[in-house]
Amino acid sequence: MPKLSEILLDPATKPAVVRDCVQLIDDEVRDKSGLSGLAVKGAFAVVKALKPNMVEHQITDLLPDFVEKLEPFWSEHQEKGAGRSLEDYVVSRKGEVADALLSITDRRAQRTTNTTIKKTYEKLRPTAKRNCEDAIPRLGRLVERYAKKHKAS
């Protein structure tokens, strides 16, 4: 059973994983609705206008940490999944997965000296868990797609 890091962080695969993660985020933002969705779309538009490649750079930088946090879920699914898709497995534990992933950005936000970034993160953080949970099905499908490609190679 390969480790998730061997699948997603392989130098031959990582650029495609980053592109797919950026697309996942774009899709999630696009699908948001209501007032909170409007806030997320507005903040995202500002970020993209100021730094068009910022999301890609952040994903590239954070991907190893995200993979490390996802590794225990991946391993447990491989050991106990019993025919269940990874998507179904992570959706069944979406709160735990979201908390694990958000622990990375929480830690980064605490350490930043940029007060604008810190204030913006603190303002959006209360809805971040729900938004992260909403993305879990897409994330599960993304990881599973790369795992199948890895297995086939």
pLDDT averaged over every residue in the chain: 92
Task: Indicate whether 115 pLDDT > 80.
Answer: yes
What pLDDT score was predicted for residue 40? Answer: 83
pLDDT digits (tens, 9 = 90+) for 1-12: 799 999 999 999
Does the pTM exceed 0.85? yes
**How confident is the model over 113-129, as a mean pLDDT?**
85
Helices (H), the chain: 4-8, 14-31, 34-50, 54-80, 86-92, 94-111, 115-152
Nearest to 86 by CA among 76, 95, 98: 76
> For residue 135, is pLDDT > 90?
yes
Tell me: the pLDDT tens digits for 71-102? 999 999 999 876 889 999 999 999 999 999 99
Q: What is the pLDDT of residue 12?
A: 94
d(CA 99, CA 61): 19
